[in-house]
Amino acid sequence: MKGREKEILTKLTPECSDFYQLELNETNGDVQVAACGAIEDLFKNSEAKAKLSTLIPQFLEALFELVKDPKLAVSDRSFDAMGSIILEFPTECASFSTGFLRLGFNNICFGNDKPPDAAAGFIRALCRAYKDVTLQL
């Protein structure tokens, strides 16, 4: 994302976040995948960080649910978006860390036919964000 795009996104953060939240609740998998990518971009925007910290719980709850989606693209992108949020806001996400770790390992161990790549990437993000903390299962 370049200068002008970041400026516009920062200015419209509340509106964008409301829209993306609605898109996560859509039944169309392509829309959900696009929303996960947009959320990832939004949370990587350093200028918008102050506005985003209060929105973390609602996004994490929605993304947490999308991981359970049977469509691989949806669950993978939701893992990617959660990993990005955790890396950008480790302190704000710390209270969720135990649930995150269980979610990642459960997906790897019991994820049906899903390849564990996105879940493994998510666990890697957790380990990077909380490298100085002992995570409990």
We find that the CATH architecture of domain 3-129 is: Alpha Horseshoe (1.25)
Q: What pLDDT was estimated at residue 4? A: 64
Q: What are the residue ranges in the chain where pLDDT is below 50?
A: none
**How many other CB atoms are found less than 10 A from the CB of residue 57?**
13
Q: What whole-number distance in Å separates Cα of residue 81 and Cα of residue 89?
A: 12
Q: Taking the domains of the chain in order of start, what are their residue ranges?
A: 3-129
* Cα–Cα distance, 93 to 107 (Å, whole number): 20
pTM of the model: 0.83
